[in-house]
């Protein structure tokens, strides 16, 4: 299993990174300052999801999915935060796995570059 995020500052730093929401979870990813450091993962489920026993079950399911998927697909030098949603508990395990795989692919996809010349021309036409 990967190293765990525990400090609040690490969770807040990951929240400033890239995000992807799926029906079963939300994934946040942020590059660490050390690019070759071991990937780290944190889990959180808010009270909005349910009472303590529901939140604990959601976190157990997220930990299980993360151990299967992130062990193979996590990039070194990244911090990941998995946020449980209302659907985390009721969603099937294969669907949760697919949600995390899709979220990882989307978070690590290349950003589309916006052509600055086109943007500049559009702003000059307005002004």
CATH 3.30.930.10 fits 3-112, yes or no: no
Can you give the pLDDT at residue 2? 84
* Residue 99 pLDDT exceeds 80: yes
Q: Please state the rounded mean pLDDT for residues 16-26.
A: 96
**Alpha-carbon span 121 to 127, nearest angstrom:** 10
Report helix, strand or coil for 24.
coil
* Residue 116 pLDDT exceeds 90: no
**Torsion on CA atoms 39, 23, 59, 37, rounded to nearest 10:** 0
Can you give the pLDDT at residue 118? 58
pLDDT, one tens digit per residue, over 23-51 is: 999 999 999 988 888 999 999 999 999 99
Q: Calculate the alpha carbon distances from 63 to 1, 7, 13, 100 in Å.
A: 9, 17, 20, 11
Q: Is 17 in contact with 29 (CB distance < 8 Å)?
A: yes
* Residue 110 pLDDT exceeds 80: no
**Alpha-carbon span 5 to 17, nearest angstrom:** 15
Q: Calculate the alpha carbon distances from 3 to 16, 43, 46, 67, 102 in Å.
A: 20, 12, 22, 11, 22
**Alpha-carbon span 71 to 30, nearest angstrom:** 17
At 115, the pLDDT band (50, 70, 90 cuts) reads low
What is the pLDDT of the chain when averaged over all its residues? 90
Can you give the pLDDT at residue 67? 95
**Length of the chain, please?**
127
Can you give the pLDDT at residue 114? 53
* Residue 117 pLDDT exceeds 90: no
- In this prediction the pTM is 0.84
């Amino acid at each position: 299993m990967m190293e765990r995020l525990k400090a609040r500052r690490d969770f807040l730093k990951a929240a400033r990174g890239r995000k992807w929401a799926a029906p079963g979870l939300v994934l946040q990813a942020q590059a660490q300052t050390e690019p070759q450091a071991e990937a780290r993962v944190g889990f959180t489920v808010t009270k909005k999801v349910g009472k303590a026993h529901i939140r604990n079950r959601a976190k157990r399911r997220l930990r299980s999915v993360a151990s299967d998927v992130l062990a193979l697909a996590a990039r070194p030098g990244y911090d990941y935060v998995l946020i449980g949603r209302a659907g985390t508990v009721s969603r099937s395990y294969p669907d949760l796995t697919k949600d995390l795989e899709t979220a990882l692919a989307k978070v690590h996809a290349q950003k589309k570059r916006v052509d600055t010349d086109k943007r500049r021309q559009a702003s000059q036409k307005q002004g």
